[in-house]
């Protein structure tokens, strides 16, 4: 089904304007300076949008980004990614991956579960190709391995959120009380994807899913780019929706929008970066988040507390033995009183 068939007349200019998408051509990298560490005054920081893949898939992703996305500044293996972020003061990582074809999700999930077992400060999500054989069993197995939710990508996997294949995913996530992180927004659209995200994705379709599955917790990354207003309104209406900020604070993507997080439900906004697939400094968005004038309470929620709740991340700071982390934690608690 093509959503353009149903687009009201007044919105047609918008559709035409966005036909080519943000990534009609690859974007340039930025040479912005990077910091050594997470600033000391910040509360506990969870990066809830970090990509972890086996080496061969990372290599294929870098290749894709060279052709269609942007120059990736941090071409690292999964273990290098984890060491890099944790050694700079990120307290916890939510690791994500996605299966771009049937038959590989099981191996990817086993890989993610192994990374999580090796490091208690990494929480991993599972993936599956919706509609593939045994999709439900693949997810059940992943949950048994300890994976904390499901990550899907509508553009890479050509997902229509209203399809029958997706209903199985919603059901299993609800049954096991696991959140679903799904890139369901229309942007950044690229000709390098096998389908057209503007035909496949819409906030309205997502609204129907959120509304008809009140027991299913859903997180949409990139604040729902590029239907920001629609997603922001949905946050007000539905308690089972979260949005992550990934790449929307960087002032990098060609967006006609700068998010005002203070006007949104700060108990439903989650900080994430898309590290290591970045064209700019790892802490660019962290620094910008600090400049938004948010209250200490809101910062603590967005930077860590909301992600800990959504992904059931246990507080493991005591195991760190790091002065900075302990100090940040105390600061965060103080801010809540
Ligand atoms: Zn991502």
Question: Which pLDDT belongs to residue 12?
Answer: 34
CA gap 193, 278 in Å, rounded: 18
Which tokens in the block code for residue 167? 């209903």
Find the 323 Cα to ligand 1 centroid distance in Å.
31
What is the full DSSP assignment across 21-71?
-TTSSPPPP------SS--TTS---EEEEEE---HHHHHHHHHHHHHHS--
Domains of the chain: 44-336 (3.20.20.140)
Find the 50 Cα to ligand 1 centroid distance in Å.
7
Find the 51 Cα to ligand 1 centroid distance in Å.
6
Under a CB-based contact definition with an 8 Å cutoff, are residues 173 and 158 in contact?
A: no
CA gap 280, 29 in Å, rounded: 6
Find the 4 Cα to ligand 1 centroid distance in Å.
26
Which tokens in the block code for residue 57? 């898939």
Q: Residue 315 carries which DSSP code? A: -
Print pLDDT tens along the chain (337 aa).
222 222 333 333 333 334 567 777 788 889 999 999 999 889 999 999 999 999 999 999 999 888 888 999 999 999 999 999 999 999 999 999 999 899 999 999 999 999 999 999 999 999 999 999 999 999 999 999 999 999 998 887 878 888 898 999 999 999 999 999 999 888 787 777 778 877 787 899 999 999 999 999 999 999 998 899 999 999 999 999 999 999 999 999 888 888 889 889 999 999 999 999 999 999 999 999 999 999 999 999 999 999 999 999 986 543 343 434 444 444 443 333 2
Find the 263 Cα to ligand 1 centroid distance in Å.
24
For ligand 1, a single-atom ion, the residues with CB < 5 A are 274
In three-state secondary structure terms, 248 is: coil
Question: Which pLDDT belongs to residue 35?
Answer: 95
76 closest CA partner among 67, 68, 87: 87
Question: Which pLDDT belongs to residue 19?
Answer: 53
Question: Which pLDDT belongs to residue 21?
Answer: 73
Find the 8 Cα to ligand 1 centroid distance in Å.
31
Find the 188 Cα to ligand 1 centroid distance in Å.
11
Question: Which pLDDT belongs to residue 333?
Answer: 35
Residue 24: other Cβ atoms inside 10 A: 14
What is the full DSSP assignment across 235-275?
HHH-TTEEEE-TTTSSS-S--S----GGGS-GGGEE----B
CA gap 225, 272 in Å, rounded: 14
């Amino acid at each position: 089904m093509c959503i353009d068939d149903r687009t009201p007349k007044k919105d047609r200019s918008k559709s035409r304007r966005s036909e080519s998408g943000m990534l009609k051509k690859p974007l340039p990298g930025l040479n912005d300076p990077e910091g050594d560490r997470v600033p000391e005054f910040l509360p506990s920081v969870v990066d809830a949008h970090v990509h972890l893949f086996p080496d061969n898939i990372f290599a294929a992703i870098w290749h894709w980004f060279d052709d269609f996305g942007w120059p990736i500044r941090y071409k690292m293996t999964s273990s290098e990614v984890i060491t890099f972020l944790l050694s700079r003061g990120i307290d916890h990582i939510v690791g994500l991956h996605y299966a771009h074809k049937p038959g590989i999700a099981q191996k990817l999930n086993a890989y993610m579960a192994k990374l999580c077992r090796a490091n208690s400060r990494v929480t991993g999500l599972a993936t599956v190709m919706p509609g593939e054989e045994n999709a439900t069993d693949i997810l059940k197995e992943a949950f048994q391995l300890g994976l904390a939710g499901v990550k899907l990508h509508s553009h890479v996997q050509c997902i229509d959120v209203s399809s029958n294949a997706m209903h199985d995913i919603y059901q299993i996530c609800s049954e096991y009380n696991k959140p679903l992180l799904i890139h369901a927004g229309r942007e950044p659209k690229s000709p390098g994807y096998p389908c057209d995200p503007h035909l496949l994705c819409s906030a309205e379709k997502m609204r129907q899913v959120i509304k008809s599955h009140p027991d299913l917790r859903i997180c949409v990354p990139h604040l729902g780019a590029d239907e920001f207003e629609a997603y922001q309104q949905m946050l007000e209406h539905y308690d089972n929706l979260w949005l992550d900020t990934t790449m929307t604070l960087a002032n990098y993507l060609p967006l006609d929008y700068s998010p005002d997080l203070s006007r949104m439900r700060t108990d439903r906004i989650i900080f994430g970066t898309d590290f290591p697939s970045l064209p700019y400094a790892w802490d660019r968005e962290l620094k910008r988040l600090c400049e938004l004038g948010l209250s200490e309470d809101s910062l603590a929620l967005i930077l860590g507390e909301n992600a800990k709740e959504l992904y059931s991340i246990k507080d493991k700071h005591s195991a760190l033995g790091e002065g900075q982390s302990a100090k940040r934690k105390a600061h965060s608690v103080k801010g809540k009183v």
